Amino acid sequence: MATPIQTPDSVHDSVREHYAAKAKASGSCCGDSSDCCDISTDLYPKELLAQLPGDISEFTLGCGNPLAIASLKPGETVLDLGSGGGLDCFLAAKAVGETGRVIGVDMTPEMLERARASAVKLDIANVEFRQGYLEAMPVESGTVDVVISNCVVNLTPDKFKVFAEIQRVLKPGGRIAISDVVSNGPVPQALKDNIDAWGDCLGGALEVQEWTRGLNEAGFVNINIEPKDAEGKLLPTAMPEGVPFSAQISAIKKG
């Protein structure tokens, strides 16, 4: 029997336990299940993954490739929300070069331990990992050029607080490049109330309209939300109502 959601803390605790177990294993966030995040090794260019050891490149916890829409430039500062094992951080570090900087934020100690160990193994000096909640990021205001995230905002109990925090840490004109699970219309209440479904990237999926409203209210413009398939290809048609699906999300902070 599924455990009903009671408080934001219970969401954090359940999600943390879910991903702590993943950090101690390997593979994707779905394991043997197809219910969460349309995982595919084709989401990342094979030549990029070939630059990393298999235990790092194959530890895929996201539902897309936010770097594909981030347009990272040398010297930029990148913040990865829910950085997990660090894959997107390590790929971003190569894109921004030695003059750039990448910060990963995650609330799960086991994930941070794994990511930091991988950074040492790769001898990457321009990446650091910090523990914290996305609703209260341990990052200075106005210091980030690009915020990326891969299937993590849906795991947070207060998305509008996350949007406000993203706005706070970005420089004027800074941008977001996010892959996440969203919904066209309300997610069924039974799914929202199922704490296990949150860890599976489903129960916390926010409606597309709410993403747009939340980012607008937080001070973002040029908001673009596009559904995509398991290989990262954009889908031309609207998705079924109330069914969570993967999407690419981009926006720019007002200057």
CATH of the domain at 45: 3.40.50.150
Say if 88 falls within a structural domain. Answer: yes
31 within a domain of the structure (yes/no):
no
pLDDT in tens, 127-152: 999 999 999 999 999 999 999 999 99
Residues 89, 162, 84, CA angle at the centre, nearest 5°? 30
Does residue 28 fall inside a structural domain? no
The tokens of 76 are what? 């930029």
Average pLDDT of the segment spanning 36-61: 76
Q: pLDDT higher for 150 or 20?
A: 150
Q: Residue for token digits 């040398």? A: 74
CA angle 6, 12, 18 (to 5 degrees): 110
| Residue 30 included in any domain | no
Which pLDDT does position 91 carry in this prediction?
96
In this structure, of 39-43, 88-92, 199-203, 241-245, the range with the lowest mean pLDDT score is 39-43
- DSSP characters for 151-179? S-GGG-S-HHHHHHHHHHHEEEEEEEEEE
Higher local confidence (pLDDT), 169 or 231: 169
Q: Is residue 84 part of a domain?
A: yes
Closest to 85 in 3D by CA, of 69, 51, 62: 62
Instruction: Give pTM, 2 decimals.
Output: 0.89
Q: Is the backbone of residue 27 left (phi > 0), alpha (psi -120 to 50) or beta?
A: left
What is the spatial distance between Cα 124 and Cα 232, in angstroms, rounded to a whole number? 27
Mean pLDDT for 62-82 is: 96
Q: What is the reported pLDDT for 217?
A: 97
Q: What does the alpha-carbon distance between residue 184 and residue 242 come to, in Å, rounded to a whole number?
A: 6
- What integer pLDDT is reported at residue 85 of this predicted model? 94
* Domain, as residue range, for 181: 8-23+37-253
Alpha carbon distance 251, 223 (integer Å)? 4
What the block records as the tokens of 138 is: 């341990």
Q: What is the pLDDT of residue 36?
A: 45
Structurally, the chain folds into a number of domains equal to: 1
Token output for 246: 């993967």
pLDDT tens figures, 176-233: 999 999 998 888 888 887 877 787 888 889 999 999 999 999 999 999 999 876 566 6
pLDDT at site 94: 95
Residue 54: inside a domain: yes
Residue pair 108/134 in contact (Cβ under 8 Å)? The answer is: no
Residues 6 or more apart whose Cβ sits within 8 Å of residue 140: 169
pLDDT above 70 covers a percentage of the chain that reads: 87
